[in-house]
Amino acid sequence: MLHAAKGERLEARFTVALTLGLCQGETLGLRWQEVDLEAGDLRVREALQRVKGKLQLVEPKTPGSRRALPVPPSVVPALREHRRNQLEERLVAGPLWQDSGLVFTTTIGTPLDATNVVRRYRAILDRAGLPRMRYHDLRHACASLLLAQGVELRTIMEILGHSQLSTTAEVYAYVLPALQGGRREPYGGALDRQLARFGCSNGCSRRQKPRSSRTGASHFP
C-alpha cells in the first residue's frame, strides 16, 4: 500500500499511521511541537475530532492514550520531507496560511477533515489493487505485523495506548499463536522491517511542488 502512496501529498501521514498504529484523530491532531526528529520520538497528546459540527482538538480517551513513541529511523526522512513540503506550501499560500501547528494540514494550514483523508486512502487502495478496508485497519495492521514479528504484547499495548493488557490480547488473539516459539525483535527494528515489507524503506519520495495560489490552485486536503 505504501508503494502505491508514493508521491501522494499525505504519503507521510499514511506511513505514520501504518508504522506507529495511531488512531485517525491522533494522527490528525499531531503537532510539530510534539515531534522531535533529532531524538527520533513523538508524543501523542491530543486528537482531532468533529464536535458539534466543528473540528476540535480534544484530550485522549484514556490516560494510556497519552504516550511517547519512538519514531523508526526509516520514518524520520519521510517526516522531514513532509515538513519541507509543508513549508513550501506556506510560502505559496502567503496571507491565506493559518498556522495551526499541526503536522498534517490542508495546503493553507487548516486541520484536515477525516472524510477527505479517507477518500484519498480509498484511492490508494484502488491503485494498489487492494480490497476496500476501513482506515482503522491500518492500526490493526501495525499491531498484527509487530506481533507476528515477535514484539512483546505489553509493548504493543503501550504503542496503541490501550489501558489494559487484556484489551490488546483480546483484540489480537488471532495473531498470538505466531508468537509461540518465535524470536523477539526490538520495537524499532520490527517497524523498519514492516516499512520495508510495505515498500517504503527510504522515506517519502519527492512529490511535485505546489503551485502558487495566484494560479488558482485549489487548497486540496
* CA pair distance 146, 81, nearest whole angstrom: 26
Q: What is the pLDDT of residue 141?
A: 83
Q: Is the pTM of this model over 0.85?
A: no
pLDDT category at 202 given cuts 50, 70, 90 is: very low
Q: What is the pLDDT of residue 41?
A: 94
Whether pLDDT at 96 is above 50: yes
Backbone angles phi, psi at 176, to 5 degrees: -55, -35
pLDDT category at 214 given cuts 50, 70, 90 is: very low
Q: Is residue 219 included in any domain, yes or no?
A: no
Q: Is residue 138 included in any domain, yes or no?
A: yes
Helices (H), 6-94: 11-20, 24-28, 76-93
Domain limits for position 76 = 2-205
Q: Is residue 218 included in any domain, yes or no?
A: no
Q: Is residue 217 included in any domain, yes or no?
A: no
Whether pLDDT at 121 is above 70: yes
CATH number for the domain spanning 149: value is 1.10.443.10
Q: Is residue 177 included in any domain, yes or no?
A: yes
Q: What is the pLDDT of residue 144?
A: 81
What would the pLDDT profile of 159-183 be if each residue is shown by its tens digit?
888 877 777 777 776 555 555 555 5
Q: What is the pLDDT of residue 189?
A: 57
Q: Is residue 214 included in any domain, yes or no?
A: no
C-alpha cell at 52: 458539534
Mean of the per-residue pLDDT values of the chain: 80
Among 101, 71, 72, 70, CA closest to 86 = 101
* CA pair distance 23, 168, nearest whole angstrom: 15
Q: Is residue 212 included in any domain, yes or no?
A: no
Q: Per-residue DSSP letters for 178-196?
A: GGTTPPP--HHHHHHHHHH
What is the count of structural domains for the chain?
Answer: 1
